Structure 1
Amino acid sequence: MIRKRYDGYRAYQYLEAGQDYEIFELPSGTDRVASRRVEVTPEEEARTERILRENLVVSLHDHPTFIPKDVARIYEYRRQGRDVTAYQELSESGMDVVFDNMNDGSALITSKNGWKWEDVLYDLGMRQADLAHQDFIVPVRRLADINACKENGHLGLVFSLEAATMIENEIDRLDILYGFGVRSMGVVYSESNALGSGLKEARDGGLTDLGQKAVRRMNQLGIAIDVSHAGDQTSIDIAQVSEAPIFVTHAGARALWNTPRMKPDAVIRTVAERGGVIGIEAAPHTTLTEKHRIHSIDGVMEHFEYVANLVGMDHVGFGPDTLYGDHVGLHHAFSKQLGVAAIHRGLEFPPVEFVDGLENPTETFPNIVRWLVSHGYSDDDIAKVIGGNARRVLARVWR
């Protein structure tokens, strides 16, 4: 598989482990569980590798870091503010650009509930201190950086936050976050904030006046807007208010799996009609379907095909929402804070330990492309959905 220009750097290598920071046992990167490789012929595998080599590959939403092997220690781990980037594993992922969502942007340095202003800046600063000591992963600030990553064998990292909760009522804080490198941002997470309603709320009040000001400022700055966790009306309002196309970076179709976490056709159409892109996700127990109630790549791709048929191949991409470690265990640990349990609303399905075929960032795009190749998709369409569509939107959003 395609490998990037990786020189062996390990996270926080410039410090003394055990002295400058606490050591946590981490899981193995890519063989933690027996996630299967999509079966293809030798000819199809050669085509898969060529497509990954020749085309821009963009993950609209991932967490390219490790979580502790003992997930119960996640709060201790996160309070250090030193999330461990999986440098070696990412060098084998086939990705050129990844939207790194900084553990949702919640940050847990001083708070068990997260989204505190100083904590978020602490997280952003600490990660960038580590990145500054190596030259494989390059923070992306503008469109030219994406082109350079592909040409130079680097992996571009787009700093992203899943909500603007931490700005409170201070619109200028968006400028500060931009200065800290944030280039993609949600307006609201599952719980409502001063800007709009989250998807777990029973009543969606839509985008507030303050929220409209925030959207306008994000447009002015050049911050891509994400509505993955916003309520339905709030999502539609944001798409209509924004002067630039927006993203649903990681979700699926509610027509296939009736939970608030999935987007209804009305939201998908509104985002697409205004030039945006819907990224299909693969976090455990999200993109299920009646046909595929055991979560695997087949259910994820059923959501992909539904959205592509609904709004066209120009408006769909992938935001797998994967990480290195026990993602299901992480959901259990954060169930209360992040509203994970609330989004299922009584639906029954067989629980899984991992999403077969899409378990971690290293295997996601090679398996996605294998699936698309084996199902007869053209090179042009594959190029669009694995990165071309995302780049088109960013060309209109970033300044």
Structure 2
Amino acid sequence: MMHDRRSFLALAATAAAAPAVAELSPADPLAGKIVVNALGGLGDPNIEGEGDPFTPRVLAEAHASGLTAVNTTLGYVAGPGDPFEKSVRDVAEYDAFLRAHPNDLLKVFTANDIRRARDQGRIGIIYGFQNGAMMGNDVTRVDLFANMGVRIFQLTYNPLNQLGGGSMAPGNPGLTPFGRDVVARLNDRHVMVDLSHSGTQTCLDAARASKAPISINHTGCRALVDLPRNKTDEELRLVASRGGFVGIYFMPFLDPHGHAHAADVVAHIDHAVKICGEDHVGIGTDGSVTQIDDLQKYAAALAKENAERRATGVAAPGEGPDTYPFTVDLRGPDQFRKLARLLGERGHTPRQVEKILGLNFLRFATDIWGA
């Protein structure tokens, strides 16, 4: 379980800076490619305890995976604590982590930083939020976090907040007046507006209110599995029609029974491409690339986490004590290669596969952040 995903399971480890791993072999299908995980993270789910998540194993497996950059969730998501203080502390903490690993990691501010990470054999870390609760009632906090390097701002998590309705908010409320102010401020500061986890009306309202394209960085398609965490065709089509980006996750919500497989990921990508077009779809796995060594032990920790999520009211239909927050047959350092192969077998051209793995996010990032 990763630092960026939820705050209920602790993550991480002790490690000194490790030297960057050699470039992928020229024969590797991902060599020289851009692979962007629009929502994920780096950490070792086999280690409990707080600290630097970038252990030698984590860094080695991240390099071996072919990953170029990842949107890593920082700041307040749910639970106790002051959202603003938690968010400021997290950003400062991650700045220190990245300074400790300059040969391996690169903080991303612009699209060119993603290209630079690829060219230098480093991994770009994109700072993102998954809940706008840290805004309080002060829209100028957008400026503060933008200056700190937060590049992606998800308006809501599953419940209602002061910006709008999450996917579990009763009555499907829309974007609030304060939410509109925040969207406008994010546009002015060239920060991505992410509508993952939002309710349908809030997503539609924000897509229409935003002067810039918006994203849904980790989702599935509700036309295939009717769960609140998945997006309707109306939402997907509107986001794409305005130049936005949609990332498909590797999550249990891709299967009606909560046990998603690689074939489900491919099916949801196919549907998203059909609705959005091949230039607007990518991946946002909501996971890491480090393997879980003992799934039985992990399952026990997951059941505890799920109980805590339900107690705090942030759990969504489709997640439960026996549903892994990943696809069992599409995880670990080889997940992107396997997905590329499966997409090719499904009939996607090599160029389309490159777009899905990272070029579509890079295009969108260029539009929002600049080159």
TM range (shorter): 0.7 to 0.9
1:12–1:130 contact (8 Å) kept in structure 2: no
Question: 2-side partners of 1:330 and 1:385: how far apart?
Answer: 34
The superposition leaves residues 333-369 of structure 1 with CA deviations (integer Å, 9 ceiling, x where unpaired) of 5423674544339xx9984585222234x23212211
Aligned equivalent of 2:118:
150
Work out which of the residue numbers 287, 291, 295 in structure 1 matches 2:260: 295
Unmatched segments (≥5 aa) in structure 2: 1-12, 18-24, 293-297
Q: Give the direction of change, closer, same or farther, for the CA distance of 1:370–1:56 in structure 2 (3 Å limit).
A: same
| Matched length | 338
User: Residue 373 of structure 1: CA displacement?
Assistant: 2.4
Work out which of the residue numbers 255, 260, 269 in structure 1 matches 2:223: 255
User: Residue 175 of structure 1: CA displacement?
Assistant: 1.1
Unmatched segments (≥5 aa) in structure 1: 1-9, 15-45, 71-76
Aligned equivalent of 1:307:
272
Question: 2-side partners of 1:274 and 1:48: how far apart?
Answer: 37
Q: For 1:286, what is the secondary structure of its paired residue?
A: helix
Question: 1-side partners of 2:90 and 2:321: how far apart?
Answer: 35
User: Residue 133 of structure 1: CA displacement?
Assistant: 1.7
User: Residue 266 of structure 1: CA displacement?
Assistant: 0.9
Question: 2-side partners of 1:160 and 1:259: how far apart?
Answer: 24
TM-score (norm 1): 0.78
2:77–2:130 contact (8 Å) kept in structure 1: no
User: Residue 188 of structure 1: CA displacement?
Assistant: 1.0
Q: Give the direction of change, closer, same or farther, for the CA distance of 1:377–1:330 in structure 2 (3 Å limit).
A: farther
Question: 2-side partners of 1:132 and 1:47: how far apart?
Answer: 30
The superposition leaves residues 13-55 of structure 1 with CA deviations (integer Å, 9 ceiling, x where unpaired) of 38xxxxxxxxxxxxxxxxxxxxxxxxxxxxxxx99933x1132
1:280–1:317 contact (8 Å) kept in structure 2: yes
> Is the counterpart of residue 370 in structure 1 residue 341 in structure 2?
yes
Work out which of the residue numbers 331, 343, 355 in structure 2 matches 1:384: 355
User: Residue 119 of structure 1: CA displacement?
Assistant: 1.3
Q: For 1:100, what is the secondary structure of its paired residue?
A: strand
> Could you say which structure has the greater relative contact order, defined with CA pairs below 8 angstroms and 6 or more residues apart?
1
Q: Give the direction of change, closer, same or farther, for the CA distance of 1:199–1:320 in structure 2 (3 Å limit).
A: same
TM-score (norm 2): 0.83
Question: 2-side partners of 1:315 and 1:369: how far apart?
Answer: 17
Aligned equivalent of 1:220:
188
Letter in 2 for 1:241: A
RMSD: 2.7
Give matches, 1:210-359, under 5 Å: 210-283=178-251, 285-289=252-256, 294-323=259-288, 324=290, 325=292, 326=298, 328-329=302-303, 331-332=305-306, 334-336=308-310, 339=313, 341-344=315-318, 351=323, 355-359=327-331
Q: Percent identity?
A: 27
Question: 2-side partners of 1:164 and 1:12: how far apart?
Answer: 32
Q: Give the direction of change, closer, same or farther, for the CA distance of 1:241–1:286 in structure 2 (3 Å limit).
A: same
Work out which of the residue numbers 74, 83, 86 in structure 2 matches 1:119: 86
Give matches, 1:166-181, under 5 Å: 166-181=134-149
Work out which of the residue numbers 184, 189, 213 in structure 1 matches 2:157: 189
Aligned equivalent of 2:76:
106
Question: 2-side partners of 1:218 and 1:142: how far apart?
Answer: 15
User: Residue 375 of structure 1: CA displacement?
Assistant: 2.5
1:107–1:119 contact (8 Å) kept in structure 2: no
User: Residue 122 of structure 1: CA displacement?
Assistant: 1.0
Work out which of the residue numbers 98, 101, 116 in structure 2 matches 1:134: 101
Letter in 1 for 2:177: D
Aligned equivalent of 1:49:
28
Question: 2-side partners of 1:131 and 1:206: how far apart?
Answer: 37
The superposition leaves residues 52-94 of structure 1 with CA deviations (integer Å, 9 ceiling, x where unpaired) of 1132111101021234656xxxxxx4xx5x3513222211111
Q: For 2:225, what is the secondary structure of its paired residue?
A: coil
Question: 2-side partners of 1:309 and 1:390: how far apart?
Answer: 17
Letter in 2 for 1:308: V
Work out which of the residue numbers 358, 364, 370 in structure 2 matches 1:393: 364
> Is the counterpart of residue 92 in structure 1 residue 40 in structure 2?
no
Aligned equivalent of 2:4:
none
Question: 2-side partners of 1:183 and 1:114: how far apart?
Answer: 23
1:190–1:338 contact (8 Å) kept in structure 2: no
Question: 2-side partners of 1:123 and 1:374: how far apart?
Answer: 41
Letter in 2 for 1:106: Y
Letter in 1 for 2:67: M
1:107–1:114 contact (8 Å) kept in structure 2: no
The superposition leaves residues 150-170 of structure 1 with CA deviations (integer Å, 9 ceiling, x where unpaired) of 211111110111121111111
Q: For 2:31, what is the secondary structure of its paired residue?
A: helix
Work out which of the residue numbers 2, 13, 17 in structure 1 matches 2:16: 13
